[in-house]
Structure 1
Amino acid sequence: MALTIWLRIYSSFLLILFFSQNFVISSVQSSGDAIALLSFKSHITYDPDGALASWGNNSLHFCNWLGVTCSNHSGNEARVTALELLGFDLAGFLSPSLGNLSFLYKLHISETRISGSIPHELGSLSNLRLLNLSHNSLVGEIPHTLSQCFLLQIISLKYNMLDGEIPSNLSLCTMLRFIDFNSNNLIGIIPASFGALKSLEVLLLHNNKLVAMKEGDWNFLTALTNCSNLKFLGLGKNSLTGLFPISVTNLSVHLKYLDLEENQIYGGFPFGIEKLVNLQELYLGINHFSGAIPPSIGEFLMLKTFDLSNNQFSGSIPPSFCNLSSLSYLNIGINNLQGGIPPCFGWNKISGNIPIEIGDLFGLNLLNLGPNNLWGTIPVGIEKLTSLQRLDLRGNGLSGKIPYNIGNLSMLDILYLDHNDLSGHIPSNLGSCKQLMQLYLQYNKFMGPIPKEILSITSLSLGIDLSNNLLTGLLSIDVGLLVNLEYLALSSNKLSGQIPSNLAQCAQLKYLYMDNNLFQGNIPSSLEALKSLELFNLSHNNLSGKIPKFLESLQNVDLSYNHLEGEVPKNGVFFNSSAFSVHGNDKLCGGIVELKLPPCLENNQVSRKNHTLTMLLATVIIITCIILLFVLSIWKRRKSKKLPSIERFEKDHNHVQVSYAELRRATNGFSSHNLIGRGSFGSVYIGNLDHNWQKSIAIKVLNLQQKGASKSFELECKALRSVRHRNLVRILTSCSSINHEGNDFKALVFEYMSNGNLDKWLHQQSIFDNDRPKKLSIIQRMNIIIDVASAVDYLHNYGPIPIVHCDLKPSNVLLDEDMVAHVSDFGLARLLIDTTKQSSQTSTSSIALKGTIGYAAPGDVYSFGIILLELFTGKRPIDEIFNEGLTLHLFVKASLPERAMDIVDPYLLLQEEDDEVGEGLRRMRVVSKSELDCIISVLTVGLHCSEESPTERIPITQAFNELYAIRNIFLKSSNDRITHL
């Protein structure tokens, strides 16, 4: 009985404590909006970066929580009007309590890992204007209750896993301008009720499973003709079937973008579609269209992109095509980026000659006419298409020679001429195409040797296929210059001589086909250096000697029909009979049982004795060497104990590796408190290696689960091994070991940069001095960009080996305690063998498809120019204002020189505050003429570096010299002004 009484008293005490705590919390966060936000946080199950750490902090008003925006309403009560969480590493579910944020007008939660369904309660948000839940893992149906958000203007649910039908009652949201549901699993019909949305400008529904009401019933398209403001209509990659309706010609005259590709639409080319006079992009590829392409196509004077690939069009190419002066993308071939002729899934059958007037389409970036039934020669007019980046004429009946001046196409990165009847020599002039990444000339009748000039195009990385031709002569040792090449096919030619050992320098090579030639001699042992090699075909040649043991590490090997001899290995690829072939080599022996080869003859007694003596001698030598190395290591260890750890690293040019245990201690067990940043392939921690070394270090720990992380580690080590420059981050050491859980561990150790990276200084409010945001002055910005230019100039032109960084951006520019800039993160770098020291304009253009959105382009010079413009305007290249063709480059270009001060970073114009001046009294100051001239000159250099065409960009050396001169003039002018005062 007494126990029961005590339990009741204890329970009452706990209840009082619980309600008192809740009372404190509710008194601090009294708003219902705060409760709704806390409910949202409670549904988040994964937040490793602590993005929502500030949520629920009683000392911080909920309006100051990350991603929350408020405004005052009745009674001056702050209410949540916007919730924006973009790109955070969050997982969990959307809380139904979000429907209680009754003043919310913007809900933007995208690029996270949030899953589950969309709460029906969102229909209660009567003030909602924008709903963006794109790039998540949402499932289930789109709630019908969203139709109650009558003020909704923008809704984007793209890149999720939503299913079910599109709610037809969304048409009740009559103010809708933008609907994007692309890349989901939506089914059913497209609501014809959308025709009531008079303000609709964008409707993107591609990449779903939508159907017409029944085959040939396109009521929804007829209804959309009522949307007089419609500019973008995306219906591609669905299950739309039937005859293409004539109603498409009645769509809005403002329509710029029409995508119907990859459906099951048939019929002729839409008659009267040329009435859509403002159409700029038309995608009809991968359907069942047939018949001739009408001459009226020439009336699309605004057309930039025209895709008719993978249909059954016939007839000839209309001459009116040559009237499309705005055209940049023309595809009447197949949608396949891999080269060769893929399995038939629908080809056009365009015949006749390629019009010589094709050369009048000066703006073409892509020309794809293959495969078709074209004949005749390649017109010489094609040499005038100097903006062309991809030329695809494969799978036709073209004959004659390749135009000799094809090297004029200096922007070309992909060239497919395979599966034709072309002949003559391969033009050496092709060596002028310094950006070429893929060259496919197989299945033609080319003769003579492979030009050395082609083998010097270091940008060739995706592949070279010269197989099934009549090529003769030796394979030049210059093939070793193709250091970035992944695929090389020389099969079925008449190439002779020995396989050049320089081939081992092609470090990225994965697939190598040299079969059906006349190669002779041994398989070079130097090819063991090809660590990336997976498939090797040397069959049907005249090779001799033994099978090298290093071939065991490959995935597929064909050595059949040569003159090889000796024992066949039994390990690796030679253990799987389906993965290798050695047939037709009469002098081979041993190997696995399935080969049924004779056993290898045993050595005689003398040979065995000699072998024993040799092994004994080798053993003695090895033991002696081990003892000497052991003694030497003890001596070095004793000597080095007097030096701090980092000093030992600096004295050793080979970067002696530090242990995992030392790094773990240095970072307090890789504590989150030591975490200072995350990158594409890992995390960066601050640490102190030991008590003798007073300076902090930065430790980049690779996430080896991330695809490409190990490759990034190797590239960064290789890039930084030999470079030395004051504006490059200095690697102190590295670690390749096993962690405490028995998993692989790789890390790089750098000097710690106490002032962080440039991105934080430009865009984040985390850089403060005495509770005030720090600002970068004009001269500080000048010094930083000159430091970056100096580093890039050294990498391209003055280092031991030319290096292309491939990922220049503000977050990779680190600032030390003296605000000196250091370029970092070489995880995407490429090393170029360039003995002629080409200009950075040429060298850097050899790398593509790498880097960061907004900065990536063919070349470091372009990325440098974008950083410069961002540094002085304070705007990222991916800022939301840059859309519909407007870029940071064009934004600056349109404002110089008259409106230069309208676009500069506002922090450059803030009046310096005195201690006595209140914080809210900041003013814009008057800019001097010397400052104005400096800013205009610097921005002009940035424009010259960020031109879209590499041929129009200035070299990095010139950019460095001009910026250096601008800074000197500015400093002199500033000093003169001070002296005068």
Structure 2
Amino acid sequence: MALTFWLRIYSSFLLILFFSQNFVNSSAQSSGDAVALLSFKSHITYDPDGALASWGNNSLHFCNWLGVSCSNESGNESRVTALELIGIDLAGSISPSLGNLSFLQKLHISKTQISGFIPHELGYLSNLKLLILSHNSLAGEIPHTLSQCSLLEVISLKSNMLVGEIPSNLSLCTMLGVIDVSSNKLIGTIPTSFGALKELEVLMLHINKLVATEEGDWNFLTALTNCSNLKFLGLGSNSLTGQLPISVTNLSVQLKYLDMAANQIYGGIPFGIEKLVNLQVLSLGMNHFSGVIPPSIGELLSLTWNKISGNIPIEIGNLIGLSLLDLENNNLSGTIPVGIEKLNSLQGLYLDGNRFSGEIPYNIGNLSKLTKLFLDHNDFSGHIPSNLGSCKQLMLLRLQFNKFMGTIPKEIFSITSLSLGIDLSNNLLTGLLSIDVGLLVNLEYLALSSNKLSGQIPSNLAQCVQLKYLFIDNNLFQGNIPLSLGLLKSLEFFNLSYNNLSGKIPKFSESLQYLDLSYNQLEGEVPQNGIFLNISAFSMYGNDKLCGGIVELKLQPCFMNKKASRKKHTLTVLLATVIPITCIILLFVLSTWRRRKSKKIPSIERLDKDQSHVQVSYAELRRATNGFSSHNLIGRGSFGSIYIGNLDHNWQKSIAIKVLNLQQRGASKSFELECKALRNVRHRNLVRILTSCSSINHEGSDFKALVFEYMSNGNLDKWLHQPSIFDNDIPKKLTIIQRMNTIIDVASAIDYLHNHGPIPIIHCDLKPSNVLLDEDMVAHVSDFGLARLLIDTTKQSSQTSTSSIAFKGTTGYAAPEYGVANQISVEGDVYSFGIILLELFTGRRPIDETFHEGLTLHLFVKASLPERAMDIVDPYLLLQEEDDEVGEGLRHMRVVSKFELDCIVSMLKVGLHCSEESPTERIQIAQAFNELYSIRNIFLKSSNDRTTHL
């Protein structure tokens, strides 16, 4: 009995032990920590990769769930001390139950799609040391309860959508060493209480909406001087204004990084900032700083887009550790100081957009770590130093818009690291393009436009297999286009216009998106494949010996050219054998023919009797317009009305018929001037006149009309100011690139009229309503009713009086000097062009009702650039339409980037240079065209690069 009794006792003990162990395990599995974690999982609405699949698995202890770490510090029971979910594709919200993880020391949930609010219950985590919720989609305010986490050392909430003010009571977390709330939508002032954080090393508040509008708002900077361990301070891209307090020079001597860029700070840079001896990065760009550069301010210096003037201090050569010198777009002048070649650590040198002059220091090649060199848009002269070839890490070289002369050093082409681009356009460079250019096998962008380079284009260019953008227009290149260039499979944009190239057009790669061969001496057949099938993707005006191609080119068939060539050869043989007799006979016959011809001039006057213009009579024009019906009326001008019409057989497309109101004074003169101006001009961006008609109408009165190609997209004025154009009930507006293309088209047309046509022509009435857009949105300048041939104006100027020469432009677009003198000039056209450019990007007419008391569109724009560009740019351009890849044609809006805004500002500056009040201060239209062309190329390249990286 006794044995049985003890066996029963022992068995009961084993059962109790077994069940107690299972109870402990079950208790642990169902403890508050596990419940809190499961609550977190229940708030996750999207987990495509099953990252949290292990959570809730009864066979797996919660301490082994993904992202969970535990400790046994509380005894036998394991407690959660860390929850880390980084870079996991999750969506949902943060459960307030995480506040029950009382032993949690690290909460790191970043780079997910977590949204919603930050639970105020996180303030219950009394052991929390690290809180990182960055790179999510969290909204709402930062909970004030976080101040209860007294052990908190790191708080990072950057790259979310948090709003409200920064809680000042965070200073109660006295152990805080890192505060990063950058890239949110926080408002208000910066708490001065942060000055009590003795352990603070990193304070990143940039890219928010924080303000400092009064002197007292800057007290936070004085308070931060008490943070003796501060090393990183980021305040850029906020709304801080006023002068930078002198207290900035008293910040911690340990400070390495100071960013105040993209605010509205003005005044000078405080002297004494050199006391921050450990400062490596000082970014003050895109503010309103003025004055001069202090002699010693950091190892990475950015003062871009300010109003800094004076010279670069010679002491800059003492900053041996300087890795970036960014002074672009200021008012700096003088030369590059001697000693800059000592900066052996320099990787980026950005001096573009200033007024520097003189030569590039020859020893600039000593900057062996240089990767980007921007000296463009200055007044540099002399030769490009061959020593640049020693910069073997250089990736991007920009020297455009200076006065460099001589040849391009072949040593530059030995820098095989050059991949992003070389821009030497708009200089005075001469000589041949070295065959060594083929060594740049990684180069994507090469611009040599608007120089005086000559000789043949080296076939070795085809070895630059990565080339996407090649611009060698406006030079003196001659000979054939190398066939090898057609092998460049990466080439997208290629401009060869305005050279002396001859021979046939080679075959080009299918990758080509735009090709300009205009104004050369090319001959032969235009291909009918690839890019040559899209009339808007290529241009070849000014090559009179080309034939064939697609029908839109309206070139002669090539067999006619061959027939004419054989006929010419036969005639030459005949003339060589019977010269005396043939000459006499030909002269006699020609004289007789001309006399007979002059007696038989028909009622239909053709603008150029040597060209095969369509012949049309009054009766045909009347039929084409349904009796000049009001339904066909599409516009009215100063001297007549414009009708749309359709001829039955002579012309396949719709035509625009300008019927002159001969009762209007000056209408007949306008008709004569327009015929005279357009007689021999041929350009892609001029409205093509088909014929003219001078006859008698059905009432027996004189009738005069001009017949043009019809432009289906109306005029520029309508696009800018008449929102009655709709597309699926959405007002159609011009995009940034469409506006860039339009103004470049206009500039190209005016440049042709002024500088490249048979006789220089002054338009005299440039305005948006005279800029027409065809079906491909290509712009065409029209209405030459006030145009003058420059040879006529020269004759007029030689007369004793010009008072009889009446000129009436359009108010707001006519140059100021036209109001006090009748002498017209090409500078007057440039002024009108500049006003159109300003109107195009601001959406404001020059006679806007807001302009009064001497304010003009020019002054309005000038007073606002660059700091208030957002206030004057056409609001539609700040929100651009994009096609939705998924929504089958649906559109959504995106905010224009700062880069895009900078490009718009650059274009507006060209408009300001064109519309200066004094004619002598205006730039020439050729320069305006080149600058606008360069801006658009940069815009397109950057847009393509951004698309590639998305």
TM-score category of the 2 structures, normalised to the smaller one:
0.5 to 0.7
1:37 aligned residue: 37
1:436 to 408, 414, 418: 418
| TM-score normalised by the chain length of structure 1 | 0.53
Measured in 2, the distance between the counterparts of 1:69 and 1:483 equals 52
Against the structure 1 CA distance between its residues 145 and 547, is the aligned structure 2 distance closer, same or farther, given a 3 Å change threshold? same
Alignment pair present for 1:497 and 2:479: yes
Measured in 1, the distance between the counterparts of 2:541 and 2:25 equals 79
2:357 aligned residue: 375
Output aligned runs, 1:374-773, within 5 Å.
Answer: 374-437=356-419, 438-461=421-444, 463-524=445-506, 526-527=507-508, 529-531=509-511, 533-544=512-523, 545-551=525-531, 552=533, 556-563=537-544, 564-566=546-548, 568-569=550-551
Gaps of 5+ in 2: 1-22, 554-607, 615-650, 656-686, 692-885, 889-944
Q: Deviation string for 1:46-87 (max 9, x for gaps)?
A: 111111111111100000001000001333111100000111
Measured in 1, the distance between the counterparts of 2:130 and 2:261 equals 29
Counterpart contact for 1:504–1:530, Cα < 8 Å: no
Against the structure 1 CA distance between its residues 375 and 588, is the aligned structure 2 distance closer, same or farther, given a 3 Å change threshold? farther
1:315 Cα deviation after fit: 1.2
Measured in 2, the distance between the counterparts of 1:60 and 1:587 equals 89
1:34 Cα deviation after fit: 0.7
1:322 Cα deviation after fit: 0.7
Measured in 1, the distance between the counterparts of 2:324 and 2:197 equals 32
Measured in 2, the distance between the counterparts of 1:473 and 1:587 equals 37
1:568 Cα deviation after fit: 3.3
AA matched with 1:457:
L
1:74 is paired with a residue of what secondary structure? Answer: coil
Against the structure 1 CA distance between its residues 143 and 555, is the aligned structure 2 distance closer, same or farther, given a 3 Å change threshold? farther
1:193 Cα deviation after fit: 1.1
1:235 Cα deviation after fit: 0.3
AA matched with 2:53:
A
Measured in 2, the distance between the counterparts of 1:472 and 1:588 equals 38
Counterpart contact for 1:534–1:554, Cα < 8 Å: no
Q: Deviation string for 1:425-476 (max 9, x for gaps)?
A: 0001112211002101011000112112123211212x11110100111111
Please tell me whether Structure 1 or Structure 2 has the larger radius of gyration of its CA atoms. 2
1:936 aligned residue: none
Percent identical = 55
1:561 Cα deviation after fit: 2.6
Counterpart contact for 1:201–1:232, Cα < 8 Å: yes
AA matched with 1:561:
G
Measured in 2, the distance between the counterparts of 1:409 and 1:454 equals 16
2:211 is paired with a residue of what secondary structure? Answer: coil
Counterpart contact for 1:125–1:149, Cα < 8 Å: yes
Q: Deviation string for 1:804-843 (max 9, x for gaps)?
A: xxxxxxxxxxxxxxxxxxxxxxxxxxxxxxxxxxxxxxxx
Against the structure 1 CA distance between its residues 592 and 103, is the aligned structure 2 distance closer, same or farther, given a 3 Å change threshold? farther
Against the structure 1 CA distance between its residues 44 and 24, is the aligned structure 2 distance closer, same or farther, given a 3 Å change threshold? farther
Measured in 2, the distance between the counterparts of 1:475 and 1:164 equals 61
1:216 Cα deviation after fit: 7.0
1:99 is paired with a residue of what secondary structure? Answer: helix
1:602 aligned residue: none
AA matched with 2:514:
L
AA matched with 1:540:
Y
Gaps of 5+ in 1: 1-22, 334-346, 572-583, 600-740, 744-848, 854-981
1:329 to 300, 324, 339: 324
1:385 Cα deviation after fit: 1.3
Measured in 2, the distance between the counterparts of 1:191 and 1:282 equals 23
Counterpart contact for 1:139–1:160, Cα < 8 Å: yes
1:349 aligned residue: 331
1:520 Cα deviation after fit: 2.5
1:196 Cα deviation after fit: 1.2
Measured in 2, the distance between the counterparts of 1:25 and 1:233 equals 49
AA matched with 1:548:
Q
1:356 Cα deviation after fit: 2.6
1:180 Cα deviation after fit: 0.8
Counterpart contact for 1:216–1:241, Cα < 8 Å: no
1:373 Cα deviation after fit: 1.3
Against the structure 1 CA distance between its residues 404 and 242, is the aligned structure 2 distance closer, same or farther, given a 3 Å change threshold? same
Output aligned runs, 1:824-973, within 5 Å.
Answer: none
Measured in 2, the distance between the counterparts of 1:376 and 1:587 equals 55
1:586 Cα deviation after fit: 7.7
Counterpart contact for 2:437–2:460, Cα < 8 Å: no
Measured in 2, the distance between the counterparts of 1:478 and 1:147 equals 67
1:562 Cα deviation after fit: 2.3
Counterpart contact for 2:393–2:415, Cα < 8 Å: yes
1:597 Cα deviation after fit: 9.1
Alignment pair present for 1:167 and 2:162: no
Q: Deviation string for 1:357-393 (max 9, x for gaps)?
A: 2111122111112221111111112121112111111
2:669 aligned residue: none
AA matched with 1:114:
I
2:131 aligned residue: 131
Counterpart contact for 1:547–1:565, Cα < 8 Å: no
2:315 aligned residue: 320
Measured in 1, the distance between the counterparts of 2:273 and 2:690 equals 73
Counterpart contact for 1:179–1:202, Cα < 8 Å: yes
1:424 Cα deviation after fit: 0.1
Alignment pair present for 1:50 and 2:31: no
1:356 is paired with a residue of what secondary structure? Answer: coil
Measured in 1, the distance between the counterparts of 2:131 and 2:36 equals 17
1:292 is paired with a residue of what secondary structure? Answer: coil
1:405 Cα deviation after fit: 2.3
1:519 Cα deviation after fit: 2.1
1:254 is paired with a residue of what secondary structure? Answer: coil
Counterpart contact for 2:528–2:549, Cα < 8 Å: no
Counterpart contact for 2:28–2:77, Cα < 8 Å: no
AA matched with 2:314:
P
AA matched with 1:322:
G
Q: Deviation string for 1:629-659 (max 9, x for gaps)?
A: xxxxxxxxxxxxxxxxxxxxxxxxxxxxxxx
AA matched with 1:312:
K
1:543 Cα deviation after fit: 2.6
2:331 is paired with a residue of what secondary structure? Answer: coil
1:268 Cα deviation after fit: 0.9
Counterpart contact for 1:118–1:143, Cα < 8 Å: yes
Counterpart contact for 2:213–2:241, Cα < 8 Å: no
Measured in 2, the distance between the counterparts of 1:61 and 1:469 equals 75
Measured in 1, the distance between the counterparts of 2:260 and 2:28 equals 55
Measured in 2, the distance between the counterparts of 1:195 and 1:591 equals 79
Measured in 1, the distance between the counterparts of 2:259 and 2:206 equals 8
AA matched with 1:158:
K
Measured in 1, the distance between the counterparts of 2:58 and 2:132 equals 29
Measured in 2, the distance between the counterparts of 1:195 and 1:278 equals 20
Measured in 1, the distance between the counterparts of 2:505 and 2:522 equals 7
Measured in 2, the distance between the counterparts of 1:511 and 1:588 equals 34
Counterpart contact for 2:149–2:173, Cα < 8 Å: yes
